[in-house]
Amino acid sequence: MDKSQKELEESWHDDPKNWKLGAFYFNKDDKRVFTSKRNPEYGITVNFANPKSYLFLFLCFCFFGFVIYMLSINKKAS
């Protein structure tokens, strides 16, 4: 990664205007889907300005919904 690109991404990350309610990263200029949280020790978050992030969240909900559905079917069969 180019050093100037990394500096730009860090400046976006540090800008409070890109954080909604202090916890949700929203930056239309940033094309990344995932970025580190405000405190990087806490992991990553999604860029809610990127449409791919909503697809990712939808697929996660579908997966966990399917798992819960399969577990409930298994309990009924027992």
Residues 19-60 have pLDDT tens digits of 999 899 999 999 999 999 998 889 999 999 999 999 999 999
Rg (CA), the chain: 17
Total structural domains within the chain: 1
Residue closest to 50 by CA, chosen among 12, 16, 21: 12
Its pTM stands at 0.75
Tokens 């069969």 sit at which residue?
Answer: 77
For residue 1, pLDDT beyond 80: no
The answer to whether the beta carbons of residues 45 and 36 sit under 8 Å apart is: yes
Tokens 């990087």 sit at which residue?
Answer: 40
The answer to whether the beta carbons of residues 49 and 28 sit under 8 Å apart is: yes
Range of the domain at 34: 3-77
d(CA 24, CA 3): 26
